[in-house]
Amino acid sequence: MKQTQKTFRQRFGLTVLFSAIVFLILIITSVLIFIVGVLLIRTNALNLAKLSRQEPMVPIFVLLVISVVVGTVVSFMISRFPLKPLRRVIDATNRLAAGDFSVRLHLLGPSAFTELANSFNRMAEELGGIEMLRADFVDNFSHEFKTPIVSIKGFAEELKHDDLAPEQRQEYLDIIIHESSRLAQLATNVLNLSRVEKQAILASRARFDLTEQVRRCVLLFENKWELRRLNLNVELDEVTLEGDEELLSQVWLNLIDNAVKFTPEGGCVDIRLQKNERTAVFVIRDDGYGISPESQRHIFDKFYQGDLSHAASGNGLGLSIARRVVTLHGGDIRCQSEEGAGTAFTVELPLS
C-alpha cells in the first residue's frame, strides 16, 4: 500500500511539473505577444485599423505569425531546463554501456528525478559487482581446472622413469587418481550449476520422505565423521515434501560435507529437521572455525572460497548450487557465523 502511494505521488508530482512548465510557456508567450503588439501599435509600425479595412485577414495572420515565432523561441529556451536531467541520464547510460561502471547520477528536482537517479546508481553498482564476479569466476575457474591438470601431468611424467620404487610409483598413481576424481567432480559441479541455473521451474516434482533423505545423507559421511571423531547430534521430525528429490539431496550432502570438513577433530555437529505449520526447516550447526563477515557476503558466489590459498578441498560451487536449488523450491537458505564460534546454515522450504 505504501509503495503504491509513493508511486502515485511520484507520477502525480511529475505530471504537475510538466503541466506547470507548459502553463509557464503559455503565460510568457502571451505576455510577450501582448508587449510586442502594443509596441508595434504605439510606434505605428502596425496600423490595425487601416489594415482591417483594407485586408481583414492580415491582422489575424500577423498575430498568428508573431504567436508562432514567440512561442517557438520561448519553448526552445524554457524546455532546455526540464530536458537537462534527461540529457544527463542519456550521457550516463552511454558511459555505462561502454563499460564505465563507476558513473553515478545526482539529479535535483522532484522526487521522481531523485528516484530515477537512485535506481540508476543501484543498477550501475549491481552491474559493477557482476563484472567483478565475472572476472573472479574466470580466475577461479582457471585455477581450479589448471591445478589438477598440472598435477596429473607432473606425476605422469615421473612415472616414465624406470628407476622408481614400487611404493613411490603406487603413491604417484594414487595422486593421479585423486586429482582425476577431483577434476571429474569439478566438471560435474559446473554442469550441475549450469543445469539448475537454466531452470526457471522444477520439471520433476514428487512427494517424498524428506526425513529419510536427510538420514541417508548423514550416513554417507559416517566414515568421515568417525575418522575425525566428531560428535553428531541428529534430531529429525517426520516430514514429507513435494519437490525434486535428486536436486535437494545435493543441498544436504553439500551442507553436511562442509560441516564435517571444517569442524576441528573432536568437535560437534548438530543437525535438526523441524516441521512447522507451513515450512520444513533444516538447520546444521558446527563449532568449527567460523566464517568472517567479508566471506559471509560472498559465500554463495560461484567459485568463492574463504581460504584464498585454496588449501582446503572443494571448489566453491557447492553452496551456489545449494542456493539455486533451494530458490527453485521457493525456499530460503541463510548463513549465520562468528569467527571462532562456529557456523549455522538454515534451509527453509515450503511444505506445498
Per-residue confidence (pLDDT) for residue 288, from 0 to 100:
81
DSSP, residue by residue, 52-94: HHH-TTHHHHHHHHHHHHHHHHHHHHHHHHHHHHHHHHHHHHH
Measured distance between the N- and C-terminal CA atoms of the chain, rounded to whole angstroms: 28
313, with CB counted inside 10 A (0-12, 13-18, 19+), is exposed
pLDDT at residue 316, rounded to an integer: 61
Region at 9 (left for phi over 0; alpha for psi -120 to 50; beta for the rest): alpha
Q: Which domains does the chain have, with CATH numbers?
A: 2-100 (no CATH), 134-198 (1.10.287.130), 206-350 (3.30.565.10)
Taking only the tens of pLDDT, the chain with its 352 residues reads 444 555 555 555 556 666 666 666 677 767 766 676 666 556 554 555 555 555 555 555 666 666 666 666 666 666 565 667 777 888 888 888 887 878 888 777 666 677 778 888 888 887 776 666 666 666 666 666 777 788 888 888 888 888 888 888 888 888 888 888 878 777 776 776 666 666 656 667 888 899 999 999 888 888 888 888 888 898 999 989 888 888 888 889 889 988 888 888 888 999 999 998 889 999 999 888 888 777 777 777 765 555 543 344 445 677 888 888 888 888 999 988 888 788 899 999 998 7
pLDDT at 311: 42
Q: Are 175 and 161 in contact (CB under 8 A)?
A: no
Alpha helix segments (H runs only) across the chain: 2-42, 48-54, 58-97, 111-158, 166-198, 210-220, 222-227, 245-262, 293-298, 318-328
Q: Would you say how long the chain is, in residues?
A: 352
Q: What is the pLDDT of residue 273?
A: 93
Three-state DSSP class for residue 348:
strand
